[in-house]
Amino acid sequence: MKRQRNSRSKLLIFTILLLTFALIIGVYYAIKENDSEQTPAKESPMITNPSGKKIVDPNKDQTSSLVKLVEETFSLSKVGKVPNISFVSGKTEWKEVNQEWGKSDHISETAKGRYEEYESHHATIGYADNTVNDIRSYDSELQNISLNEIKKTGGEPDDIRYFKDSTHDQMILVYHATTSTDLLWVLPIKTKQEPNPKVDHISLYTQVKKTPNQEAQVEKELNQQGNQTISEVISKMSLDDKIGQMILAGISGTTIDANAKKLISQFHVGGIIFYKNNFETPAQTIQLVNQLKSGNSSSLPLLLSVDQEGGRVTRLPGGLVNFPPNKQIGQVNNPEFSYKVGTLLGKELKEFGLNLDFAPVLDINSNPNNPVIGDRSFGNNPEIVSKLGTQTMKGIQSQNVIPTVKHFPGHGDTSVDSHLELPIVNKSLEELKKLELIPFEHAIDHGADVVMVAHILLPQLDKTNPASMSKAVMTDLLRKQLRFKGVIITDDMTMGAITEHFDIGEAAVESVKAGSDIILVGHDYNNVVKITSSLTTAVQNGEISEQRLNESIERIIQLKRKYSINDMKVENPNINEINHSINSLLNNYLH
């Protein structure tokens, strides 16, 4: 009996110990779980790189939030907005800003429009008339973003500008958010001490119509062109209008004289070519360009062109820093450098209100005795000329300026200057294909829009006519074999290669019959009169069909529409900004 009681006592003690142990374990895990709920374990923040792939960011959460802010800024810019501001660039009106934010702290008037500052919102709002066209944000979060973070998300900018005054020395990264809106990141200039500067502010700038006159002009162009098919536009054009569009004419002097007025009001020429003697100063050049635009009576805007190649062929005034000749660019042999040179050539033209550059030169400098090409060529290697020439072309296109590849089918192997006489290149088509044609074919395959045809005689292709008047060269070779669908323009028909051997009126007729779209008449108003008369007579007597003219007019209108050519006036160019860009580029690649 006693032994039985001892067994029960032992069992009871064991049970109590077991329950106590279980209770301790339970309390321990309850406390641990409670701690884990209050302080969750940190996870490495996840971010998305530009390709969309998720990666682990080893830095703190701030880096992740900045990346998200950069992504948000790029994303919002596409709809005209910036972070933390509800207004839409290009759409919101002044009264809406005034209703939401009240009266501004400060107003300033500039050449570009009116700017109103709101200190409490860390923002400045710019207006064209009463429409918001520039939203500048000085948000403190944006000011934590660095140069590297911008490029990591947005890639390389479409353009880089510079601004310097007594208190600022800034670089401006420009990204095209839409066709009319740019997102600008404004930062201090990079230095050795600070190679990765942080944002000062951002600007979302939209090109909007500014004045009633400009609005009326744009509306006129839209009504006359944009809302109609090309065939509808052509159907409303007279014979004089069509022939005028196929002429690109030079003018005399630095102001609009009576003859220049007749070219744009009576002959309705499709465009103007400028030479160095037309330009004295930037202000005079802008005045001349704007007068021509406002005086244009055609329903189609003017092509405003110039030979701005760099090297020894430059036309623009104002002390612009010159580019090295193409020969030196060919020796550097860097496609990125060539692209950036093209970009700045395009920017130069755009700043002066011009829209067509007779560049780049795609001639291969295969003849050391060549008196006209020489260092204007990228070199004697067809691959280098093809690669660098096409990149220069693309750089010009990036500024919405039309490049022209020249001088088809190749002016490199001549020993005569076509400005003075008619050069002869005695090569077969097979020989041309192995050398001269390579860069042109490459450029055409990569989106060339305009080809200039040279005044050179190729007897093995056409015994009688130079290339600029030859069906074998322009239609059979350029159109059919190389499949070029853009605009064909002749070299200047007032050059000795033509005038010493042909009547200029008859030469123009033969050129159009052979396949050219635009006749370039660089000098002398009377030459335009003669060519116009000869072409009119040729159509009236059936030598040239009106359908043949319509084919050229269609290509010309397509070109003008593709590049959004318009007759809106422009403001004075910023020469210092362009020169800063050119110097920076040359320092990076040549020193």
Tell me the C-alpha distance between 397 and 231, whole Å: 26
Please give the pLDDT value at position 64: 83
Tell me the C-alpha distance between 366 and 414, whole Å: 9
For residues 399-418, average pLDDT: 81
Question: Nearest-CA neighbor of 490 among 477, 462, 509, 476?
Answer: 509
DSSP class of residue 109 equals E
Please give the pLDDT value at position 137: 97
Please give the pLDDT value at position 413: 60
> How many CB atoms are located within 10 Å of the residue 554 CB?
15
- Residue 102's alpha-carbon distances to 121, 123, 131, 235, in angstroms, are 11, 13, 16, 53
Please give the pLDDT value at position 161: 83
Tell me the C-alpha distance between 288 and 256, whole Å: 7
For residues 510-525, average pLDDT: 97
% of the chain with per-residue pLDDT over 90? 73
> How many CB atoms are located within 10 Å of the residue 222 CB?
12
Out of 16-25, 250-259, 266-275, 290-299, which region has the weakest mean confidence (pLDDT)? Answer: 16-25
- Residue 426's alpha-carbon distances to 381, 462, 472, in angstroms, are 20, 10, 15
Split at pLDDT 50, 70, 90, the class of 113 is: confident
Residue 33 has pLDDT above 60, yes or no: no
Query: What residues are annotated to the active site?
Result: 419, 491
Tell me the C-alpha distance between 48 and 56, whole Å: 9
Please give the pLDDT value at position 443: 97
Please give the pLDDT value at position 166: 75
For residues 507-524, average pLDDT: 97
For residues 428-432, average pLDDT: 94
Please give the pLDDT value at position 15: 63
Please give the pLDDT value at position 11: 61
> How many CB atoms are located within 10 Å of the residue 396 CB?
29
DSSP class of residue 52 equals S
Q: Where are the domains of the chain?
A: 47-206, 214-577
Pair type for strands 519-521 and 247-250: parallel
Residue 136 has pLDDT above 80, yes or no: yes
Question: Nearest-CA neighbor of 233 among 547, 557, 555, 561?
Answer: 557
211-220, 496-505, 529-538 — which one is most confidently predicted on average?
529-538
Please give the pLDDT value at position 22: 60
Please give the pLDDT value at position 179: 84
Tell me the C-alpha distance between 86 and 440, whole Å: 49
Amino acid at 497: A
Locate 276 and state its tokens. Answer: 């160095």
Please give the pLDDT value at position 197: 95
Question: Nearest-CA neighbor of 142 among 127, 122, 162?
Answer: 122
Given the structure tokens 């093809």, which residue do they identify? 386
Split at pLDDT 50, 70, 90, the class of 434 is: very high
Backbone angles phi, psi at 518, to 5 degrees: -130, 130
Split at pLDDT 50, 70, 90, the class of 276 is: very high
Mean pLDDT, all residues of the chain? 87
Split at pLDDT 50, 70, 90, the class of 41 is: very low
Locate 200 and state its tokens. Answer: 């000062």
Which helix (H) or strand (E) segment holds residue 239: the answer is helix 239-245
Locate 140 and state its tokens. Answer: 């403190």
Residue 369 has pLDDT above 90, yes or no: no
3-state secondary structure of 428: coil
Split at pLDDT 50, 70, 90, the class of 118 is: very high
For residues 120-143, average pLDDT: 94
Please give the pLDDT value at position 37: 44
Tell me the C-alpha distance between 201 and 143, whole Å: 7
Residue 525 has pLDDT above 90, yes or no: yes
Please give the pLDDT value at position 31: 52
Residue 472 has pLDDT above 50, yes or no: yes
CATH number for the domain whose boundaries are 214-577: 3.20.20.300
Given the structure tokens 């040729």, which residue do they identify? 538
Tell me the C-alpha distance between 92 and 396, whole Å: 33
Locate 11 and state its tokens. Answer: 């069992």
Tell me the C-alpha distance between 96 and 7, whole Å: 92
Backbone angles phi, psi at 146, to 5 degrees: -105, 165
Please give the pLDDT value at position 520: 98
> How many CB atoms are located within 10 Å of the residue 148 CB?
11
- Residue 524's alpha-carbon distances to 186, 402, 419, in angstroms, are 48, 25, 15
For residues 46-72, average pLDDT: 64
> How many CB atoms are located within 10 Å of the residue 324 CB?
17
% of the chain with per-residue pLDDT over 70? 83
Which helix (H) or strand (E) segment holds residue 355: the answer is none
Out of 141-155, 208-222, 457-471, which region has the weakest mean confidence (pLDDT)? Answer: 208-222
Question: Nearest-CA neighbor of 85 among 124, 46, 38, 43?
Answer: 124
Residue 270 has pLDDT above 60, yes or no: yes
State pLDDT tens for residues 339-353: 999 999 999 999 999
Residue 162 has pLDDT above 60, yes or no: yes
- Residue 291's alpha-carbon distances to 41, 527, 567, in angstroms, are 70, 23, 10
Whether 143 and 198 have beta carbons less than 8 Å apart is answered as yes
Out of 147-156, 362-371, 560-569, which region has the weakest mean confidence (pLDDT)? Answer: 362-371
For residues 321-341, average pLDDT: 95
Locate 88 and state its tokens. Answer: 């839409």
DSSP class of residue 158 equals S
Please give the pLDDT value at position 53: 44
Please give the pLDDT value at position 485: 96
For residues 381-397, average pLDDT: 96
Question: Nearest-CA neighbor of 355 among 307, 428, 411, 303?
Answer: 303
Split at pLDDT 50, 70, 90, the class of 219 is: very low
H helix intervals, 399-428: none
Question: Nearest-CA neighbor of 408 among 465, 467, 461?
Answer: 467
Split at pLDDT 50, 70, 90, the class of 9 is: low
